[in-house]
Structure 1
Amino acid sequence: MNSKGFSLKALVAAVATAAALASTGANALSLKLATDSGTKGSPAGNALEKWGKLIEEKSGGEIETKVFFQNELGGQQEVFDLHVAGDVDVMLNWPMTSYDKRIGVIYTPYMTLSWDEALKAYSPGGWVNNMLGGIWSDIGLKFFGPWPEGFNGVGSRGKYALNIADAEGLKVRTMTVFPAPQTMQALGYQTAAIDWGEVYTALQTGVVDGEAGNVIYWDYEYFRDSLDYYVQTKHFFMTGVLSMNLDTWDSMSEEEQKVVSEAAEEIMNDQFKAAKEQDEYYIAKAQEEGMEYFEPNDEQIREFAKAAREKVWPQMEEEIGSEIMETIRANASPL
């Protein structure tokens, strides 16, 4: 064989190899990850970013990820719409109830009253966790598990309430999901359901006197210049959800599914260990910055819980069905 023939064969082989590599790169699985709440550097943002890195590492680079933070793809409802439609593959979200009112299970007021009860209920195998997987599947999402934050409360200015009577005249922002407004009305407040991205403006312009949707981290981080008080009413145990579009999930190989699932489990386990400590840290930080923090006593919490269960739980039964509510009543913390 002459050198010219050898060079030609070598060139053909090199081109074929390059084409194969290019084809492999072009066909590599690419996943779009997003969160509806949490900027880059926030606890939620950090968790999402780590999830993406774990997926890439565990796949040996075979799966590529692109991470989008709060408001980069739209508001809370818009991003959840993209997730259900498959334009966002993977999410850490605070789910909207527009597709299925049963998602409101996660916002049932006063299901649990202590950290131990809540973490046990929401952990894999726990009674709340067991209810959620089937609901998410019905709207086309793969449910990996919760991302717990802790018990929420009411941040306000000018006035605060430790009982139902004192809440009269206070208008607070609630999440735009059922039964958030109904819960705060049961606790004596006036309400305005406002998308997360519009809360700062609503506080600045006086549309509302406070914010009643979150653990203290969010009120401290975003609104501490607007709010004087934070009362940890514990009406919801707040948790995000780690989920994936079911069509995307079904299109992946078993090995790819294992990578994403194991990465999700690691993120979830990290947060179960860190949640209480994070909450306590931001309670202290808020007080250092001048926000007055109140933790209602057992009697005050029971007043709130009794009112919410009597007024909101029957409304929930109409929306999510008696079977789910029977499970909640059988397992909820006793008053």
Structure 2
Amino acid sequence: MSFKTLALATVLALGTVASPAVAATLRFANVTSDSGKEAGIEFKRIVEEKTNGSLEIKLFPDNQLGNDRIVTESTIFGDIDIGVSSTSPLATLFPDLYAFDAPYLFLSPADAYAKLDGAGGQAILNSLEKKGLKGLAFWENGFRNFTNSKKAVAVPADLEGMKIRTMENDVHLAAWRALGANPTPMAFSELFTALQQGTVDGQENPLGIIDGNRFQEVQSNISLTQHVYTPYVVFMNLDKYNSLSKEEQEAILEAAKMSTTFQRDRSQALEKEILSKMEGTVTITELAPDQKALWQKTVGDAKIFDLVKSKMANPEYLDEMLKN
């Protein structure tokens, strides 16, 4: 071998050794809530730290890659690697998610966490694999609360005659009818104007969404009914997850676990901040235990749980959560 050839071979060999490993990039489509966006940053930090950079998480917050359904379908197809979605818009794709439309399934944040992380909740999360998703975690979207422009509402009888915007959801519609209201399905994008013009009297959403969309500017009353707890579900393309090394999979699972604790704590702190900010600008009604029990009894007597179970592929998952 000539000196020139040997020198070239040496340079090429050194170049191969010196070139850095290329990290695999995972596209993470995240939601608009502050707690969710902050948890996404935490997820990214943990994964990249635990994999020594072999995985890079590229964050797309604020629904940049589409709404809940688009993100979910794109993750199934593999165009997105990791996604986050509220459960309600996905129930037609994953019928077991109808469980989370059941009013008063969860009675407190601690109760929700125990049931979501318990056998019933985890069975629902694992069932996503049938359609190509790896369920990673349940984050907190929060309890839905009721606002209106008419009067303070503490018991179902106070709802009589009120026109309330709801999602196009059979369970929600049946529950509000049972409570004595006049539920009106409407696109969320139309809601602020409808409240402002009096087309509807009230609406129901988690506090973060109420505050983020400034509904308190056109609604004078907030009742902390906490009637439905809506989780976010965090999921990953199953094929992509299975293609990772064991160490990378463990990093993803650990990041999901740690970011869930972070996100739930942050969500609770933000809700306290929102209520503190709203004091003095709207009338806040906190339900006494006997008043909340009346709401529970009303939807129970209307057999709403039976309606929910009729829509689920595995109604025993709901029974499991109701046991505790």
TM tier, shorter chain? Answer: 0.7 to 0.9
Question: Within the alignment, does 1:174 sit opposite 2:174 as a pair?
Answer: no
For residues 48-80 of structure 1, give each alpha carbon's deviation from its aligned partner in whole angstroms, at most 9, with x where no partner exists: 222123222222111122211233122232222
For residues 80-113 of structure 1, give each alpha carbon's deviation from its aligned partner in whole angstroms, at most 9, with x where no partner exists: 2223333222123212212122111122211232
SS in 1 for 2:70: helix
Matched AA of 1:324: Y
Q: Which has the higher contact order (CA 8 A, sep 6+)?
A: 2
The match for 2:292 among 301, 305, 323 is: 301
Summarize the Cα distance change of 1:177–1:67 in structure 2 as closer, same or farther, 3 Å threshold.
Answer: farther
Aligned to 1:217: 208
Q: State the distance in 2 between where 1:200 and 1:52 align.
A: 34
Aligned to 1:164: 156
Identity %: 24
- The answer (yes or no) to whether the contact 1:97–1:177 under 8 Å persists in 2 is no
Aligned to 1:108: 102
Matched AA of 1:280: K
1:275-290 map, 5 Å = 275-287=267-279, 290=281
Summarize the Cα distance change of 1:12–1:144 in structure 2 as closer, same or farther, 3 Å threshold.
Answer: closer
Q: State the distance in 2 between where 1:4 and 1:140 align.
A: 54
Summarize the Cα distance change of 1:107–1:139 in structure 2 as closer, same or farther, 3 Å threshold.
Answer: farther
Summarize the Cα distance change of 1:256–1:193 in structure 2 as closer, same or farther, 3 Å threshold.
Answer: farther
- Per-residue deviation at 1:198? 4.9
Aligned to 1:79: 71
Aligned to 2:30: 35
- The answer (yes or no) to whether the contact 1:173–1:211 under 8 Å persists in 2 is yes
Q: State the distance in 2 between where 1:94 and 1:241 align.
A: 6
Unaligned runs of 5+ in 1: none
TM-score normalised by length of structure 1: 0.83
- The answer (yes or no) to whether the contact 1:232–1:295 under 8 Å persists in 2 is yes
- Per-residue deviation at 1:194? 4.2
TM-score normalised by length of structure 2: 0.86
SS in 1 for 2:298: helix
For residues 237-295 of structure 1, give each alpha carbon's deviation from its aligned partner in whole angstroms, at most 9, with x where no partner exists: 2322222222221222211111111111111122344443332222112225x122111
Matched AA of 2:271: D
1:1-335 map, 5 Å = 4-14=4-14, 16-17=16-17, 21=20, 24-25=21-22, 28-38=23-33, 42-95=34-87, 96-122=90-116, 124=117, 126-177=118-169, 179-204=171-196, 206-214=198-206, 216-223=207-214, 224-287=216-279, 290-311=281-302, 312-320=304-312, 322-331=315-324
RMSD of aligned residue pairs (Cα, Å): 2.7
SS in 2 for 1:283: helix
Deviation larger for 49-58 or 191-200: 191-200
Q: State the distance in 2 between where 1:79 and 1:120 align.
A: 27
Q: State the distance in 2 between where 1:14 and 1:134 align.
A: 47
SS in 1 for 2:97: helix
